[in-house]
Structure 1
Amino acid sequence: MTVLQPGTGPVAGDVYLPASVDHVLWGRLPCATDQPVLCVEPGTAVTFDTISHEGILEDQGRDPAAFFGAHGVTDVLDDAVALAASEHPHRFGVDGPHVVSRPVQVAGAQVGDLLAMTVVETAPRVPYGVISNRHGKGALVGEYPLGGAPLFSAFATVSADGGYGQLPLVPGGEPTVRFPLRPFLGTMGVAVRGAERPHSVPPGPHGGNVDIALITTGATLYLPVQVDGGLAYVGDPHAAQGDGEVSLTAMEASLRATVRLDVVAREDALARFGDLAGPLAETAEFLVPTGMDEDLDVAVADCVRAVVALLQARFGMDPSLAYAYLSAATDFRISQVVDVVKGVHATIRKSDF
């Protein structure tokens, strides 16, 4: 496949936002005092170049050309090299690892509305990705990585049409394990109130690092607007992820992602979804409410409450019957367990109603 360097290759959106050093934040998410890099009308499709954090981090040498070169890669993204070599403020171990776009203002979005972020296209920018695990991180803290290695990286090739990731059965072996690629953005969000940029790792009512693998092409993420203008952003590009993301990262790979930004006015939002306290996704098949907390049990309970409230608001379903329906017909999936705040999402079949 052709590597999508900055400014080259097809752009599916109405507006293109490259991931140049002055167009991204590293390790922090936008807040109310951040100035937008773009101002667009509702319905605008913005094509974002995104950069994976894997290969540019300090414990990897902050030198993606050398890091990926050790795996035989000769065509590394110029914007990744530029960011790693820049004086962009990033405090390893204090800030998060993720590279996110600076915010995009959506005209007319007001506090109380919902910002709708619909994924139009996700094109891999490079034919490789990384899966990593670090001590103190992941579902099995202290057990992995084996041998005390600070980083486990799995190199996999991808194809332009999606294709497969690859892994060997043993370190250094031939890549005989194949798994389908499902590119998506792990981070999609709106700016928070106040003048403090949130850490990029834990998700919350603002969205952020929600890591829900269902939010692929065609899906929409709805977020309660916290700051007039919405101030939307994206980042943390993935080539594939299983629900749970247990080892720390998914298959991390830079994407060129096109996202349409729309505003759902408060009155319409209340009729369609009720009073949302946090992110809600929608696919062709499912409504996908969420629950988030550092305690996974609390996250599940919050997700159940969110679903009951949604079914009551959207369909007029009695809460007791909604609660019963969930046990009979709805799957509750672990979004991720590695982002401090754990995530759970429910999959409500729209065809049931």
Structure 2
Amino acid sequence: MNPAPEPDSAQVVTTPGILQPGVDVPDGALYLPATAAHTLWGRLPCATDVAVLTVEPGTEVVIDTVSHEGILDDQGRDPVAFFGQHGVPRDAVLDDAIEIAASEGRRDAGSDGPHVITGPVAVTGAEPGDLLTMTLVRAEPRVPYGVISNRHGRGALPDEFPQGVMNVSVFAAADVHAGVGMLPRVAGGERDVTFPLRPFLGIMGVAAAGSSRPHSVPPGPFGGNIDINLLVEGASLHLPVQVPGGLAYVGDPHFAQGDGEVALTAMEASLRVTVRFDLTKRDEALAAFGAIAGPLAETAEYLVPTGLSEDLDEAVRNCVRAAIDLLHARYGMDPDLAYAYLSAATDFDISQVVDLVKGVHARIRKADFGE
């Protein structure tokens, strides 16, 4: 457990607009709160899970997500006390975070992941071989603060950080109206470092085949913890359906993240999101994207194929292969020419290097192909 930091007047949170469960949900919206009954903690849904909500393709759902930071065992599993150390009043701590932290028997700290998962949501008509698309229509901060953590044996420099014997959880304030996060330049000092907020969901996925719930940390063909920071408002994630109904879910909300997410987490903070669930049947999906073996993101500007592997070099290779296959299927491009084009015109970015299975994503400009 981390030592309690001294309260700092510069850390007192006074920004209004806390989105407690059920508060300020738009009239008429289909709403999925992050109650204990609607969440998993540390595991992802599988084929034997039962949907908490069933929707028709094209439906938008308002979904509450809860960050794991502030509720974990090494943080005391008491978000009121944890955030209170940083000047956060009780009414600015989310009630659903308190409920989840207090729930017993839901998470094994030794074998389960940290993430709180909201769902799963079944999409009528979804079958294996189809493509389920999750579009982030809106992402609203539920609180004006977050946490960036580094834990022993994790992160890009596991043998160097944390530098002390304790895990490190850095409190970060947010001016959600100005769209900036704030950190101290020196530990315990006045905040004088700011950075832009770009809220997105680190976890978007569909249920894995089989009867075992996957650990929430490593991503896979089903999506999960892919941590692609391009998946902000307006962006979509296409996922190959693994089980009937798809059983989609969301979690790991972020206010901001750099490519790589090197310290283990980025600015983790709870969001209320509006997600649209669309379905593309197998034949149409093959014509539009080819045979997709894993997550494919899409923004207004880019097609974003991905590559995953425990080895970063192999993740890059998998991403290049996925990009070549996509260009061939979608645009009829000869593989040799596609390979040349990717080398000349496409950026390959490291999504994250901290989730056991590393991720790489490519940014293919749709305008280059007349889209």
Matches within 5 A, 1:15-94: 15-74=30-89, 75-94=92-111
1:124 equivalent to 2:141? Answer yes
CA contact (8 A) 1:47 1:258 kept: yes
Matches within 5 A, 1:226-237: 226-237=242-253
Deviation, 1:71, is: 0.5
Matches within 5 A, 1:105-124: 105-124=122-141
Distance in 2 of aligned mates of 1:170 and 1:56: 25
Alpha-carbon distance change, 13 to 241 in structure 1, aligned in 2, over 3 angstroms = farther
Q: Residue type of the partner of 1:306?
A: A
TM-score, length-normalised on structure 2?
0.93
TM-score, length-normalised on structure 1?
0.98
Aligned to 1:171: 187
Q: Deviations over 1:288-347 (max 9, x none)?
A: 000000000000000000000000000001100100011100000000000000000000
Q: Deviations over 1:14-36 (max 9, x none)?
A: 41000011110000000011000
1:269 equivalent to 2:280? Answer no
CA contact (8 A) 1:12 1:258 kept: no
Distance in 1 of aligned mates of 2:147 and 2:176: 17
Aligned length: 352
Matches within 5 A, 1:83-232: 83-150=100-167, 152-161=168-177, 163-232=179-248
Deviation, 1:85, is: 1.0
Deviation, 1:160, is: 3.5
Distance in 1 of aligned mates of 2:281 and 2:266: 34
Distance in 1 of aligned mates of 2:105 and 2:136: 28
* Partner SS, residue 324 of structure 2: helix
Deviation, 1:6, is: 0.3
Aligned to 2:8: none
Deviation, 1:159, is: 3.0
Distance in 2 of aligned mates of 1:102 and 1:127: 24
Distance in 1 of aligned mates of 2:44 and 2:26: 25
Distance in 1 of aligned mates of 2:262 and 2:348: 17
| Cα root mean square deviation, aligned | 1.1
* Partner SS, residue 175 of structure 2: coil
Distance in 2 of aligned mates of 1:62 and 1:124: 22
Aligned to 1:336: 352
CA contact (8 A) 2:184 2:190 kept: yes
Distance in 2 of aligned mates of 1:217 and 1:12: 21
CA contact (8 A) 1:13 1:47 kept: no
Deviation, 1:148, is: 2.2
CA contact (8 A) 1:14 1:44 kept: no
* Partner SS, residue 103 of structure 1: strand
Pairing partner for 1:318 from 325, 334, 359: 334
* Partner SS, residue 326 of structure 1: helix
CA contact (8 A) 1:21 1:88 kept: no
Distance in 2 of aligned mates of 1:86 and 1:92: 13
Q: Deviations over 1:64-118 (max 9, x none)?
A: 0000000000120001011111214111131000000121000011110000000
CA contact (8 A) 1:13 1:258 kept: no
Deviation, 1:12, is: 8.2
Distance in 1 of aligned mates of 2:27 and 2:191: 33
Deviation, 1:182, is: 0.3
Distance in 2 of aligned mates of 1:129 and 1:88: 26
| More displaced stretch, 10-19 vs 341-350 | 10-19
Aligned to 2:10: none
| Gaps in structure 1 of 5+ consecutive residues | none
Distance in 1 of aligned mates of 2:242 and 2:27: 28
Distance in 1 of aligned mates of 2:225 and 2:156: 17
Deviation, 1:167, is: 1.1
CA contact (8 A) 2:173 2:183 kept: no
| Gaps in structure 2 of 5+ consecutive residues | 1-15
* Partner SS, residue 176 of structure 1: strand
Q: Residue type of the partner of 1:327?
A: S
CA contact (8 A) 2:25 2:31 kept: no
Identity of aligned pairs, percent?
Answer: 68
| More displaced stretch, 86-95 vs 308-317 | 86-95
CA contact (8 A) 1:12 1:121 kept: no
Distance in 2 of aligned mates of 1:240 and 1:162: 14
Pairing partner for 1:3 from 18, 24, 32: 18
CA contact (8 A) 2:305 2:322 kept: yes
